[in-house]
Structure 1
Amino acid sequence: MYLNVHSQYSLRYGTMSIPKLIEEALSLGITQLVLTDINNSTGIMEFMRACHDKGIKPIGGIEFRRNKKLLYIGIAKNKEGMKELNDFLTEHNLEQKVLPDTAPDMEHAYVIYPFGYAEPLKIREYLGIHFEELSLLYQKDLSAIKDKLLALQPVFVADKLGYRLHEYLRGIDLNALLTMVEPDDKCRNTDMFLPPGELESRFNKYAFILDNTRNLMNTCVMDYPKGRVNLNRRTFTGKKEDDKALLYKLAMEGLVFRYGKNNRAALNKVKEELKVIDDLDFCAYFLITWDIIRYSMTKGYYHVGRGSGANSTVAYCLQITDVDPIELDLYFERFLNAQRTSPPDFDIDYSWDEREDVQDYIFKRYGKAHTALLGTMSTFKDRSVIREIGKVMGLPKAEIDSFTDRTLLTANQDHPTFKKIMAAYAMMADMPNQRSIHAGGVLISEEAITYYTALDLPPKGMPTVQWDMYEAEKIGFDKYDILSQRGIGHIKEAVRLVEENLQHKINIHDVKTFMKDPKLNARLQTGNTIGCFYIESPAMRQLLSKLRCENYLTLVAASSIIRPGVAQSGMMKTYIQSYHDPKNVKYLHPVMEKTLGDTFGVMVYQEDVIKICIHYAGMDGTDADILRRGMSGKYRSRTEFDKLIEKFFEGSKALGRPEEVTKEVWRQVSSFAGYSFSKAHSASFAVESYQSLFLKTYFPREFMVGVLNNYGGFYSRWLYVHELKKAGAEIHLPCVNHSLEVVSIKGMESYLGFIGIQGLETKFIALIPEERKRNGDYLGLEDFVKRTGIGLEQVIILIRVGALRFTHKSKKVLLWEVHSLLGAKTRPVQGAELFEVQAKHYELPELLNTQLEDAYHELELLGFPLSLSMFDLLQTSYRGDLCAADLNRQLGKTVKMLGQYVCEKTVHMKNNKKMWFGTFLDSAGNFFDTTHFPTTTPVYPFRGTGCYLILGKVVSDFGFPSVEVIRFAKLPIVGNPVMT
């Protein structure tokens, strides 16, 4: 008779997970209960599954609150009632309306108001009374409400310890000290399941209330189908047979487009796949994905299709992906097979500024009632939990910092406050903290989605379900991943610039030609790939150089072996060695040679691991698929992944595999957990990398402007400006008479845009070039101020960054004039003046700016100097004993170098120590890399951007030189002349 039970999904309020909640109910003999989390239905479907497994009757509901105030509780009579409750909450979430004091009429749901509600009750409305409120009924005439009274015993906690956790959660939610959390801000300490018979005892004088409660619950039946059912939109055309015919027609047309008219092998492959797709009822899934691609292509949008879907030749023929599965011998069964326990997966990437329009199309095409974005659930994790607990306990920041420092972990173990924090941490870790939005998952349902969840409206502005991808899959939804990435934006913008400025038409999708281009492959081999998608990071450039990568297939492998699973298992080094010396490869076992000959016995892709589990350990396809998902991190815990260990070893033993070999094979398999790519995924990335390589090789200036205008990539903005300069462009500071909002380029000349100037307001970033376009160049400072209505503070920023240098006056003169013109006031934009009144001008002494002053202005306002380099700002003229180009001639020697900091990477070692890898530019503008061991870096740490003097030993790994740092110091720069 518990009508008001809460789980952890009553965020920062409820304390029990759904399994814990049901375990508690079972232990007390409770046979039915209602889950009513606060303003959400996140846990309802999980709750029903768990109750059915344990033989408890589940009832769904929602507790509606406005701020801290309980308004009413909705309880579903059935599936339709749950939809009514979800629809009501959804309406208020999506329209951002506050919840009303009274609930609307609902045909299939009951509403319970807290005792004290004074309005007349309708037919399905009741009053809930807590046992502590029963005294209010004493000597009252109850005839009018006798049939409307229900026992309301909320459940938020399991016991006293749970109540203390609840107090911590409330403190965190309210950002308040524990002692400042008011009684109204938290539940009662009795809001829990009561021992058997106690609730009856509390209500013994009012047994009819318990009868009312029991009778109401008995009328509720959550008539949802049990087990996973297909809840996705079931057809594309309206009829399954028409879907099948349309998919066949499109696939055959695409077959001719991709392979020509006479490719028998491709025809057979497509027909085989079509049969599997139809047998497993995925025709609609393919057609809907094709429809999304068709729409985006009509809009001229670029896309990259990846994920396991790129294993499908049908997907290739439908232009969902540009990866040819036949050429790469991709494993279609990795994507779709009769034993597969999870839905297929298409990841479609768009440029960051085009994705939202594609999502908007999906909502309009398939209807808002049937379409929603996928949610996520962030949890309390790691040191952030300790910080939150420490704050509500009122601890000073320094003490909290000491508790989160890993190096002080042992020293703090016996500290009483630390023990208290860790006890709370143990209960709170991985508890749901807040709902958010998935990176790109979209659900398209057959029934209205509100049968299964209420919808939120996150900042993105599109309806979002209240549960995550794991729950979606268990309920029966397959997601469509509509993602965005900057790399596509780089390509799109570069192609546009080439076509507009050079009148040169590019077929950027002619990737097969790119792959055979010796110039592109030569660039790939040297690792000269700054700006190129996925292959520009220091680690990837090093790998390309070590492999001397010169073709697409090697790049596909490199895209996967750079992942932590391969790299940290030691197999990346093994792969490089074997790649250069394939005749001397030593295979762990003949099965490894037979199944992994192409990758020299190294498991590089998810498919490789699946093959080994099947062929080496004799596991079936279903277990292999579960393991694949474990590798992708697509499980809530490691439980299902760990269960496979026993099967793996038992199967290997039964097949007579040597025990020591089996241990090493499993070590390699398990190292992939959470990190490996499917081959199709790597192949998709490699296709995009080649598109970027093509543009960087033949149109380097336009390409780098494309990178800058899509907010860069792996590196800071200044490095892409440096690369633009290396490509031969003459780069100019922003100018009000030449610059656009973004970086522009014509011929060899490039102007930095107004975006990127620190402190410049968005309205002026757009207004300055727009006004110039409408009415011509600005004639001078006064003309600029009048036409834009810019204020003193904003125009000073533009003067200091050099954007008014067209006046041929020094910055100091311009600053004098603008103060005379505006003083502390902002002039509004005026209408056309009948008579132009000139401002008074005064004769000034000569006021000049130095290059050093300009460089400091640029450093402050752009984040980097353009007038001078960082090396020019150093107090010393020393530039090191050698440059990056000389390193291979100095192997084994201790050298002294000077480098401008580019980036660093911290790596946690197995012994809990850290080491660092650095990337620098020498004074000639070339890269070199450094290694910093745990013994040296604490003494000689990184100190942010700037130039460093580096003493170290030159080493080489597969021909790639780097410097192992012995000593290391950031060098001082000359002072700011304005400040001296």
Structure 2
Amino acid sequence: MTGDAGRSFVHLHNHTQYSLLDGASRIEEILDRAVRYGMPAVAITDHGNLFGVPRFYQKAVDSGVKPILGCEVYVAPGDRRDQTPGPAGKAPYHHLTLLAEDRAGYGNLMRLVSIGYLEGFYYRPRIDKETLARHGRGLIGLSGCLSGEIPRHLQDGRMDLALRSAGEYVDILGRENFFLELQDHGIPEQRRIFSDTVEMGRRLDLPLAATNDCHFVDPGDHFAHDVLICIQTGKTVNDPARMTYAPGHHFRPPEEMWRIFAGVPEAAANTVRIADRCHCTLESGGRHLPRFDVPAGMTVEDYFRQVVEAGYRSRERQWEEQRRGGAAIPGPEVYRRRLSEEIDMICRMGFPGYFLIVWDFVRFARENGIPVGPGRGSAAGSLVAYCLQITDIDPLPYGLLFERFLNPERVTLPDIDIDFC
């Protein structure tokens, strides 16, 4: 069903069980409710991670609801690597809601989340505006909850700083890709900055978007969520000073959201417009290997052939010395023919990137004094692996077969066993 006047609404700010110790909404419950309410789409925006995306995407597709992939990221007030504590009573990060408009946007969202964990972790995985500027293509931004940068400035009575921050996000994401987020759970602070946020939209000509920051599905789930927050913060439900959420953070029906935002109907209508813009398709099934970055102007296959050829020339000098020493090893034409056959097979089956990845980390180990085993398993039968110094066993003198490692009839992915110590 839709709203009182047949009006639809899309929840763009939802926390699932993957917002650890904070979200009490299960993905299946969110989608069941979206179907019941006739919502054309729904988003998940878990705190600082994309753990729930694969499950959510497939379940949403199966339910006939468009999945919108998002994340509520943490933004450092300055450099993401700066671990200076925040002002008294304030966390050293702001919240920002990001939604992937397309596949490129989802790729950038994954990069941002990874950077947050690898480079900006301080209490939470944080990015910064410089990182967002580098990886902002394909993303739609919403200004966030009360813990967002702009809402915090408004709570402090600093409209000037709020306007400046909004301008920075517009410069980063583009005017058409940044929305001022409105929420109303009856919290005094929200009510106090509501009109200021609307005024900002008027002054900067920025669109508004209504969200409910859903942390549980039904109003009756509020107590269960309260217990979850107590576990997170080490408090008990009997502690009057504990952190707690207002009861309204549930998955409200469309007509309720339209009623709450009756004074700014465009904020509710924009949720559907945003949903219409989001078209991110994920492939399911099949093989998805990591992509190896190659020099500009080259394909992964070209670079693979180049690296293997360089390794072959190095091994060729070794073979010449062995022949001069009287070793009974095959002639150059045998090695060259075997190498050509292996390269063709590897490229035909789509594994040059896999070999380059293994070559890269084995080379790193050798260059940094980390002992690497000579090779074991069927990969020891690969001359390509030997030329790349992934293995240190020449397969030809021992009659080892490449086909035991890789052949067109193999249904499982090949794997190269490496021993480090």
- Give the TM-score category using the shorter length: 0.5 to 0.7
What code does the residue aligned with 1:75 have? Answer: L
Q: How does 1:916-935 map to 2 (within 5 A)?
A: none
Matched, 1:132 2:186: yes
Find the counterpart in structure 1 of residue 343 from structure 2.
274
Q: How does 1:246-395 map to 2 (within 5 A)?
A: 246-247=307-308, 250=311, 253=315, 256=319, 260-261=329-330, 272-294=341-363, 296-297=365-366, 301-304=370-373, 310=379, 312-314=381-383, 317-318=386-387, 319-322=389-392, 335-338=405-408, 343-351=413-421
Find the counterpart in structure 2 of residue 213 from structure 1.
271
Mapped to 1, the partners of 2:105 and 2:395 lie a distance apart of 48
Matched, 1:174 2:228: no
Find the counterpart in structure 2 of residue 39 from structure 1.
48
| Shift of residue 76, structure 1, vs aligned partner | 3.6
Find the counterpart in structure 1 of residue 5 from structure 2.
none
| Shift of residue 294, structure 1, vs aligned partner | 4.3
Matched, 1:110 2:141: yes
Residue 236 of structure 1 contacts residue 288 of structure 1 at CA under 8 Å; is this kept in 2?
Answer: no
Residue 304 of structure 1 contacts residue 348 of structure 1 at CA under 8 Å; is this kept in 2?
Answer: yes
Q: 1:158 aligns with which of 188, 204, 217?
A: 217
Mapped to 1, the partners of 2:283 and 2:65 lie a distance apart of 16
Find the counterpart in structure 1 of residue 96 from structure 2.
72
Question: Secondary structure of the residue that 1:59 maps to in structure 2?
Answer: strand
Mapped to 2, the partners of 1:324 and 1:249 lie a distance apart of 16
Find the counterpart in structure 1 of residue 86 from structure 2.
none
Q: How does 1:935-950 map to 2 (within 5 A)?
A: none
Could you give the per-residue CA deviations for residues 554-600 of structure 1, whole angstroms, max 9, x where no partner exists? xxxxxxxxxxxxxxxxxxxxxxxxxxxxxxxxxxxxxxxxxxxxxxx
Instruction: Summarize the Cα distance change of 1:126–1:314 in structure 2 as closer, same or farther, 3 Å threshold.
Output: same
Q: TM-score under structure 1 normalisation?
A: 0.30
Taking only the aligned residue pairs, the percentage that are identical comes to 21
Residue 13 of structure 1 contacts residue 156 of structure 1 at CA under 8 Å; is this kept in 2?
Answer: yes
Mapped to 2, the partners of 1:286 and 1:138 lie a distance apart of 56
Question: Secondary structure of the residue that 1:71 maps to in structure 2?
Answer: strand
User: Relative contact order: is structure 1 or structure 2 higher (C-alpha 8 Å, sep ≥ 6)?
Assistant: 2
Find the counterpart in structure 2 of residue 14 from structure 1.
23
What code does the residue aligned with 2:420 have? Answer: Y
Could you give the per-residue CA deviations for residues 887-918 of structure 1, whole angstroms, max 9, x where no partner exists? xxxxxxxxxxxxxxxxxxxxxxxxxxxxxxxx
Matched, 1:199 2:257: yes
Q: 1:243 aligns with which of 295, 301, 304?
A: 304
| Shift of residue 86, structure 1, vs aligned partner | 5.6
* RMSD, aligned CA: 4.8
Mapped to 1, the partners of 2:60 and 2:221 lie a distance apart of 22
Mapped to 1, the partners of 2:311 and 2:251 lie a distance apart of 59
Find the counterpart in structure 1 of residue 208 from structure 2.
149
Question: Secondary structure of the residue that 2:292 maps to in structure 1?
Answer: coil
Instruction: Summarize the Cα distance change of 1:137–1:215 in structure 2 as closer, same or farther, 3 Å threshold.
Output: farther
Instruction: Summarize the Cα distance change of 1:129–1:278 in structure 2 as closer, same or farther, 3 Å threshold.
Output: same
Instruction: Summarize the Cα distance change of 1:63–1:140 in structure 2 as closer, same or farther, 3 Å threshold.
Output: closer
Find the counterpart in structure 1 of residue 35 from structure 2.
26
Mapped to 1, the partners of 2:143 and 2:408 lie a distance apart of 48
Gaps of 5+ in 2: 1-9, 75-89, 155-161, 168-174
Could you give the per-residue CA deviations for residues 589-619 of structure 1, whole angstroms, max 9, x where no partner exists? xxxxxxxxxxxxxxxxxxxxxxxxxxxxxxx
Instruction: Summarize the Cα distance change of 1:339–1:38 in structure 2 as closer, same or farther, 3 Å threshold.
Output: farther
| Shift of residue 232, structure 1, vs aligned partner | 0.9
276-285 vs 195-204, greater mean Cα deviation: 195-204
Residue 15 of structure 1 contacts residue 156 of structure 1 at CA under 8 Å; is this kept in 2?
Answer: yes
Could you give the per-residue CA deviations for residues 254-285 of structure 1, whole angstroms, max 9, x where no partner exists? 79579822599988876654332121122243
Instruction: Summarize the Cα distance change of 1:68–1:317 in structure 2 as closer, same or farther, 3 Å threshold.
Output: closer
Q: How does 1:269-668 map to 2 (within 5 A)?
A: 272-294=341-363, 296-297=365-366, 301-304=370-373, 310=379, 312-314=381-383, 317-318=386-387, 319-322=389-392, 335-338=405-408, 343-351=413-421
Question: Secondary structure of the residue that 2:383 maps to in structure 1?
Answer: helix
Judging by fraction of residues, say which structure has more strand.
1
Mapped to 1, the partners of 2:226 and 2:208 lie a distance apart of 30
Mapped to 2, the partners of 1:44 and 1:322 lie a distance apart of 41
Residue 170 of structure 1 contacts residue 181 of structure 1 at CA under 8 Å; is this kept in 2?
Answer: no
Mapped to 1, the partners of 2:231 and 2:106 lie a distance apart of 31
Instruction: Summarize the Cα distance change of 1:95–1:20 in structure 2 as closer, same or farther, 3 Å threshold.
Output: same
Question: Secondary structure of the residue that 2:216 maps to in structure 1?
Answer: coil
Q: How does 1:664-743 map to 2 (within 5 A)?
A: none
| Shift of residue 33, structure 1, vs aligned partner | 1.9
| Shift of residue 63, structure 1, vs aligned partner | 1.5
Residue 269 of structure 1 contacts residue 313 of structure 1 at CA under 8 Å; is this kept in 2?
Answer: no
Instruction: Summarize the Cα distance change of 1:195–1:92 in structure 2 as closer, same or farther, 3 Å threshold.
Output: closer
